[in-house]
Amino acid sequence: MKRESEKGKKSVVRPSYTVRNAVASGDWVAFQVDWEGVLAVPVAGLEAGATMRAYFAMFLHFRDGQIVHQSNYDCFEPW
């Protein structure tokens, strides 16, 4: 996982995240997030310099002030 994370950091420059909505209930928080990043290298038919976009739903479960579980549901724009 760490290796893939490092590879991703080299593939995308200037990532940005915009939180569209956040809802909390008890120990749970849900986020609706828009993401985009400029590709440093060609990826899946997109050229370097192209912008890749995705939309995420993230669900976080907290215990004692720390995240104990996270689920992400990602939807990328067509490449």
Average pLDDT for 4-10: 62
Buried b / exposed e over 22-33, threshold 16 CB at 10 Å, is eeeeeeeeebeb
β-strands 51-63, 28-39 pairing: antiparallel
pLDDT at 9: 65
Every domain of the chain and the residues it spans: 2-76
| Confidence at residue 75, expressed as pLDDT on a 0 to 100 scale | 96
| Highest CATH level, class, for 2-76 | alpha beta
Give the predicted TM-score (pTM) of the model.
0.74
pLDDT for 31-60, tens place per residue? Answer: 999 999 999 999 888 899 999 999 999 999
Structure tokens at 1: 């996982």
What value does the mean pLDDT of the chain take?
Answer: 90
Give the DSSP per-residue string, 39-60. Answer: ESS-BTTBPTTPEEEEEEEEEE
Average pLDDT of span 46-75: 95
